[in-house]
Amino acid sequence: MIVVVNEQRVEVDEQTTVAALLQSMGFPNRGIAVALDATVLPRSGWATTLSDGAQLEVVTAVQGG
């Protein structure tokens, strides 16, 4: 099935969770925020299994001023 991460189409299997997808794409374990279908997803929700057509936005925190 296909999901979209930061406007990039990604093929995943039906049991893929948000956490597994983030890890497979090389996102860091800390310092990121995730929105699933336009809803902010707390870290406790990263065990959510993705569905076909899911839209994820991943934002990396940056220090500075």
CA pair distance 27, 45, nearest whole angstrom: 16
CATH code (residue 54): 3.10.20.30
Percent of the chain with pLDDT over 70: 98
Q: How confident is the model at residue 65 (pLDDT cuts 50, 70, 90)?
A: low
Is pLDDT at 41 greater than 80 in this prediction?
yes
Q: Does 38 fall in a domain?
A: yes
* Domain annotation covers residue 15: yes
The rounded distance, in Å, linking the Cα atoms of 14 and 2 is: 10
Q: In the chain, how many domains are there?
A: 1
Residue range(s) defining the domain that contains residue 10: 2-60
Mean pLDDT value across residues 49-62: 94
pLDDT in tens, 25-34: 999 988 999 9
Indicate if the pLDDT at residue 1 is higher than 90: yes
Q: Residue 41's beta-bridge partner residues? A: 34
pLDDT at 16 over 80: yes
